[in-house]
Amino acid sequence: MDFSGVIPAIPGMWNGMLMTLQLMAMGIVGGIIIGTILALMRLSSNKLASRVAGAYVNYFRSIPLLLVITWFYLAVPFVLRWITGEDTPIGAFTSCVVAFMMFEAAYFCEIVRAGVQSISRGQMGAAQALGMTYGQMMRLIILPQAFRKMTPLLLQQSIILFQDTSLVYTVGLVDFLNSARSSGDIIGRSNEFLIVAGLVYFTISFAASRLVKFMQKRLAV
């Protein structure tokens, strides 16, 4: 084992880490927004909206993320060409961001739905008695409390997404794992670089999991 080649490769690996963090951040933000909309649809009294959201969640939770990444990479340009009639170049980064958002939205939807259902129905009744609309009730009373309760679960799912970003190698994106592996291949030290990459993933994921446990105690209602 010779780890001397790791230090000179740190700048390239850091660029890969920035790519990983950027994909994760955009996937989380978009996934939570879409997931919240889906959760409200599933909780809606409108049967059509509830069934559509339920079908979406069940579908994306039943297929592997690798398939979703590959499918969006191949399908998004085709769909845009069908809609606009023009060849619209879509890079691997954009297609991966869309894939992460759509895939994670299914999981965030269930987290948000559970958080909303954990709030006492008495508070909903009180809000309706005050004359609040459904939107006002959710925005001002229900969702703020629900997000407080489900913050640890959202962080836990974010850790999983951080690890899953390594799958973007299939469409040629250079994330942290791919940059580490490429650097190792160049100097013939793949094992050492993969060990270092594994330690980095473990350190970040373990620290984040400890943060989740701290948040569970701190935000307990």
pLDDT tens for residues 97-111? 999 999 999 999 999
Residue 38 lies in a domain: yes
Residue 198 lies in a domain: no
Residue 66 lies in a domain: yes
- The tens-digit pLDDT sequence of the chain (221 residues) is 777 778 888 888 899 999 999 999 999 999 999 999 999 899 888 899 999 999 999 999 999 999 999 888 887 777 777 777 776 667 788 889 999 999 999 999 999 998 888 888 888 788 888 888 877 888 888 888 888 888 888 888 999 999 999 999 888 888 899 998 888 888 888 888 899 999 999 999 999 988 888 877 776 65
Separation between Cα atoms, residue 186 and residue 46, nearest integer Å: 57
Global pTM? 0.85
For 175-212, give one letter per residue: b (16+ CB within 10 A) or e. Answer: bbbbbbbbbbeeeebeebbebbbeeebeebeeeeeeeb
Residue 137 lies in a domain: yes
**pLDDT attached to residue 57:** 94
**pLDDT attached to residue 165:** 92
**pLDDT attached to residue 130:** 84
**pLDDT attached to residue 149:** 82
Start-to-end CA distance of the chain, whole Å, equals 50
Residue 3 lies in a domain: no
**8-52: pLDDT as tens digits:** 888 888 999 999 999 999 999 999 999 999 998 998 888 999 999
Q: Give the number of domains in the chain.
A: 1
Q: List the CATH number of the domain containing 121.
A: 1.10.3720.10
**By residue range, what is the domain housing residue 117?**
10-176
Backbone angle region of 148, left / alpha / beta, with phi > 0 → left and psi within -120 to 50 → alpha: alpha
Residue 163 lies in a domain: yes
**pLDDT attached to residue 88:** 65
HEC assignment per residue over 65-101: HHHHHHHHHHHHHHHHHHHHCCCCCCCHHHHHHHHHH
Separation between Cα atoms, residue 190 and residue 197, nearest integer Å: 10
Residue 215 lies in a domain: no
Helices (H), 85-189: 92-117, 121-129, 134-137, 143-164, 176-187
Residue 196 lies in a domain: no
